Structure 1
Amino acid sequence: MNKVRYVAPLLSLAVLFPTATNVLAEPSKNIPVEKVEFIGMATPDTDDERSKMYSEASVKVTYKNGTQETLPLEYKSLFTPSDVINGKIAGATYDVYGKMITKADGTPYISSAPDSNTLLKVHGKLYMVNHFESLPKSEHGNMSETMMLNTVEQNKETGELTVTDMTPIDFSADGGIWVPCAGTLSPWNTHLGSEEYEPDARAHEANPEKSDVTAFARNYYQDPNKIGNPYQYGYVPEVSIDEKGQATAVKHYSMGRLSIENVKVAPDNRTVYFGDDGGYTMAFMYVADQAKDLSAGTLYAAKWIQTGEENGGSAKLEWIKLGHTTDAEIKVLAQNTKFSDIFDTTTDAEYAEANGFIRTKAAGRDEWLKVKPGMEKAAAFLESRRYGALQGATAEFNKMETVELNKADNKIYMTMSTISGGMTANPNDPTDDIRLPKINAGGIYEMNLAENQKDRDGNKINSKYVADEMTGLLFGEDLAVKDADGNKAHVDKIANPDNIVYSEKMRTLFIAEDSGNHVNNFGWAYNIDTKKLSRILSAADGGEVTGIQAIDNLNGFTYLMAASQNPGNVGYISGLPSLGNNGKDFKDNK
């Protein structure tokens, strides 16, 4: 997510699709659903519609007895940041002591950038973990961000959700939370978050006093002399909630350090795929040693071996093992290592070629690098993208966003918000593995998962869910000239997809836009069987749709959660039918 624009804090934190049980005709109440079909809404065409988050879409429900009905989807307000809930201010930021950070006049800093929303059920109670991705640097420099635990109540008759309390989640053991972006619910009922745009340790070491990570640390620790440590940030945070509703957070240092948009866990509860956001990024896979435990494992990076350029391109994927480690081992390294401890560098190409240096362009940094003897593990897990590039992995993906799983079809979906930069042919790139036609509006890829796969060195990968090929699925369409409303991409197709989530029961991929190519960003429903794309949500002008989560069944109700940044409104859309069987599909820690 590349836009941070400050506006008054009127934002959407959650778009929820509760069931239509309370609005269905009497004969349909207890009849199982066979399928759903989304009927899209028109684009906003009045100033009022352009300035708000709303839905005028509907859903046609086919029941297993053959009957059908069409149900309207309606957006309803829930809450906005800066609202006070049980004495807590939504969107506020906190220091290392858990104290709200305030301006000189005593008023709080309020984030206008909520992102991930993960609803969890723990011992029969509901909680929601949500991220506040950023605050405007113009006011304060680089401020610490916040991840919140919200207490949620569900109306047992209607499915309506209400937030009754919120508490900041404590990351003081790991230096705070850095740019928390998207997130997901793990198969074992914890929240897996993200730390996007990891700080550049080389730039920090060159001028630590002026680096963003030092500004962050001084705000977080409330210490004007504090010098930040970039190797504390860029990991997968995991939040678990106990029977008392207390949240515990850890960072998984063994999963590597990169610009994490989100992660997704395969059905074995061990294999994890990443979204690595930004320019010249990399596809990573992590295989944990044990199921439901991400504290130790093996990290791999992919090499794209292109097989075609049509429909967004296609490739075989070759996996390169970067290393194996534990959280504890890398956390110690993170606390005691500098960039210059890991790499030798030079700017002299002739000298570099004669002395074993390799040219890389990871994260867009054109560098000649060489790993110092004995520092391979530090390089692999503290500088995963740089090290991956040195090992031959492809560091040319552009705006790689969310990854999502389709269990029934054994596929991983991956968004590429913009297919440009390193993904287009460029003979000046160090490797130029990816050579595709430019699509500013971006698209979504699918990766097939296979077993009995080997890494580049011929060693078996200990997973049955290894992505072996990647092909285009769904793409936007750039316009040669803007349309009459100012859209630069086809308004009836996706533009710059960001967050995606998949509903197994609806066979539907939900897509959230973060686009400057559509005047209003939209939320979409894409049926992977019929290939029908339906616009189901419109955000306010300039507002990014974020933080979606699909829940097929929670106590007999179905939800799709989302968020909107700059601006928006906290709320939900009512209308979807019940898809479950008394809540058995939604996990509960008991």
Structure 2
Amino acid sequence: MNRVAYSLLASAVALALTACNGDDGATGAAGAAGPAGEQGDAGINGTNGSDGQNGANGQNGVDGTTGKSGVNGGSGLIRIATVPAGAEVTGLHLTRQGDLFFNIQHPNDANTEVDSFNQKTYHTGTVGVLSGVNFNDLPRNIVSSAVPHSDSALEQQTVVSAVGQYQILGQTGDTFAQLNEQGLPGGLGVIYGISSKQEIIKNNMPDFNGFVPAGENSGYLFTNWEDYPGGMSRLKMSKATNGTWSVEEAMMVDFDSVKGTAANCFGSVSPWGTPLTSEEWIVDSKVDTTTNPAWNKPTDVSSRLENFRQFLAPEFPNPYRYGYIAEVQNPATDTPDVVKHFTIGRYEHENSVVMPDRRTVYSSQDDTGGVLFKFIADQPEDLSSGTLYGAKLTQDAGLNDPAVTGFDIEWVELASNTNAQIETWIAQYDDVTSADYVEGQTSYLSVADVQAWVDGKATYPTVAEGGSPITAGKPMDDRVAFLESRQAARLKGATAEWRKLEGISINHDRVLEAITGQDVIADEIVEKAYMYIGIADLDSTMTDGEGDMQLSARVKDCGGVYRASIDSNYNLTRIEPVVMGGTYRSSLTGAERCDVNQLSQPDNVIVMRDGRILIGEDGFQENNTLWMYDPQSK
């Protein structure tokens, strides 16, 4: 339901105070109201109260208050840009200088239209930036860009923006041969085998962007390439005075030391300047061999697993080496170091966000029946050791509509450990191959193993009791908390019911200012800041009438955005809705199922310095949208 948001009209009220031995002075005139939709004008001073009787003067009327800034009307959503047909909006990243990067993931390969600015077509994965605009100094009266017209192939197959000009920085396969003699052999997004050095996949799926500055107008742009195996590129760039960017160096980050990565999805840059890339897709977090394919079942090898086998040949992939947050350390060197943080848990990571204390990390699980996780490091800026938690939600009593229903949060402690110890457990599965597969059993951890850990058993169950042959009968340890984190959290009592828990984001400076009271942003002090959460689908385990989350299916696959309150210890205490997609129309098909002027399956979210949020769609629309939402409109 569309709601028209009006500016609060500030009015000046002059209070008449009692005169000594006389009647009250007359009320001062009201200050003028600030107009809606733009910066309100200051209210004028109230006029002096008239003299009281018996000769004493009435006191002056109080000054009229300043009119409050108007906000965008309607739903508070502004369409910043639309992306070409077939593509989703990924990789939202806003720098401290106000540069907004985002990608065009898997556009239609049949797109043929050439845009006038880049002189290129959008038929493959594209990394770019909205040049010529500072999103840290963006006015509030931006007018939405137009929905691409159905009769205009040019509008449907290119980027249409409300501000700035979308500049292409690189596309799948680009070799950047103009930079030097070698360029980027094989091209951007291309992944090679560790042993064979042969091309395994040419990736069409750019996702996360993270910018690490090297100067005021230069730095390194890291981009995830989401596939099996996954990858990450690094472009060294500089910005000219007219706002356009130039690429000076290009490389693919070497993940061979960690035996590759899987489906590098969204991510973030840590407060100490290191990209955090997320591994998604690869985890079967149900841990149930009766209903799900086993990783090493010889007759059930997916094309994705085959890609991994080619990548690692002659090794057989160990699934417990994938499904983590990986940190790119020393990001500006010729050979950045990559560390997988097993401590943050193994599940379908969308992304992680580090709080300003440089210890607390929140991570979202993009799955059906997912969990919101928290990790607290033992030491600041060192994620190799710490404690993992899962969120337990309590839904607001008497409510179930997604637009108004919130959840209180408790945190369930799972376990504490180190990367080094967890890797010793992971290594025990390195030699498992298809030859070890037994029908009806698992070569890896089972639900029975997790349950025995939850129940505090002294030893793991035997194979006959449903246990894994690797751990059968051995002394109990905490490996299940880190290798099968979703099941461990669920059986410990955390809420494992999110459906498509997507990008999570904070504005570091706003949170720091709200918690510490420091004037970080050099503006009005922020007294409250939030972590924002994108949800692509509000259905399935969120709407099945069971468990902790029992929402109605009115919004369903249109999705929405939540925010989480942050206390003084950087602890999330409550989640509540911010903006939801329109009513899901199940009687219709295609783009009509979700209103084109409302959210449709939000994916990435980014918080701007002024508190507005940017939302990238992965939805039903013919042309997905990059939205800007103003919470002040609510």
Q: TM-score, normalised by structure 1?
A: 0.71
Q: 2:378 aligns with which of 265, 286, 289?
A: 289
In 1: Cα distance, 2:535 partner to 2:586 partner: 23
1:16 is matched with 129
2:414 is matched with 322
1:100-499 equivalences in 2 (<5 Å): 100-101=198-199, 109-122=201-214, 125-134=218-227, 143-155=228-240, 157-200=241-284, 203-204=293-294, 207=297, 210-212=300-302, 214-223=305-314, 226-241=315-330, 244-307=333-396, 308-310=399-401, 311=403, 313-337=405-429, 342-343=445-446, 345=448, 374-406=475-507, 407=511, 408=526, 409-427=528-546, 432-438=547-553, 439-451=556-568, 464-480=569-585, 486-499=591-604
Q: Structure 1 residue 90: deviation in Å?
A: 1.7
Q: Structure 1 residue 189: deviation in Å?
A: 0.6
CA RMSD of aligned residues (A): 3.3
After superposition, what is the alpha-carbon deviation per residue over 1:258-305, rounded to whole angstroms, capped at 9, x for unaligned? Answer: 100111111111111112101111110011111111111110001111
After superposition, what is the alpha-carbon deviation per residue over 1:56-88, rounded to whole angstroms, capped at 9, x for unaligned? Answer: 414xxxxxxxxxxxxxx3334443222221332
In 2: Cα distance, 1:214 partner to 1:79 partner: 28
Contact map agreement 1:98 1:168 (CA 8 A) in 2? no
1:83 is matched with 174
What SS does structure 1 have at the residue aligned with 2:126? coil
User: CA distance change for structure 1 residues 215 and 209 in 2, over 3 Å: closer, same or farther?
Assistant: farther
Structure with more relative contact order (C-alpha pairs < 8 Å, separation 6 or more):
1
The answer for unaligned runs of 5 or more in structure 2 is: 1-87, 91-104, 111-121, 178-182, 433-441, 458-465, 512-525
State the aligned residue count. Answer: 458
* Letter matched to residue 501 of structure 1: I
* Letter matched to residue 92 of structure 1: V
Could you say which structure has the higher strand fraction? 1
Deviates more, 1:465-474 or 1:418-427: 418-427
Q: 1:96 aligns with which of 181, 191, 194?
A: 194
Q: 1:522 aligns with which of 618, 621, 625?
A: 625
User: CA distance change for structure 1 residues 315 and 239 in 2, over 3 Å: closer, same or farther?
Assistant: same
* Letter matched to residue 598 of structure 2: K
What SS does structure 2 have at the residue aligned with 1:267? coil
What SS does structure 1 have at the residue aligned with 2:172? coil
* Letter matched to residue 119 of structure 1: F
Q: Structure 1 residue 6: deviation in Å?
A: 7.8
Contact map agreement 1:196 1:260 (CA 8 A) in 2? yes
What SS does structure 1 have at the residue aligned with 2:393? strand
Identity %: 26
In 2: Cα distance, 1:100 partner to 1:300 partner: 41
1:19-58 equivalences in 2 (<5 Å): 19-20=132-133, 35-45=139-149, 46-58=151-163
After superposition, what is the alpha-carbon deviation per residue over 1:102-148, rounded to whole angstroms, capped at 9, x for unaligned? Answer: 6xxxxxx42111111111113775111111112xxxxxxxx422211
Contact map agreement 1:215 1:228 (CA 8 A) in 2? no
Q: Structure 1 residue 331: deviation in Å?
A: 1.5
In 2: Cα distance, 1:234 partner to 1:74 partner: 36
2:95 is matched with none
In 1: Cα distance, 2:146 partner to 2:416 partner: 50
* Letter matched to residue 206 of structure 2: P
Contact map agreement 2:108 2:123 (CA 8 A) in 1? no
In 2: Cα distance, 1:402 partner to 1:277 partner: 9
Contact map agreement 1:302 1:317 (CA 8 A) in 2? yes
Whichever of the two has the greater Rg, that structure is 2
User: CA distance change for structure 1 residues 120 and 234 in 2, over 3 Å: closer, same or farther?
Assistant: same
* Letter matched to residue 55 of structure 1: V
What SS does structure 2 have at the residue aligned with 1:412? strand
In 2: Cα distance, 1:481 partner to 1:377 partner: 45
User: CA distance change for structure 1 residues 123 and 246 in 2, over 3 Å: closer, same or farther?
Assistant: farther
In 2: Cα distance, 1:36 partner to 1:287 partner: 37
* Letter matched to residue 532 of structure 2: Y
Q: Structure 1 residue 4: deviation in Å?
A: 7.4
User: CA distance change for structure 1 residues 172 and 437 in 2, over 3 Å: closer, same or farther?
Assistant: same
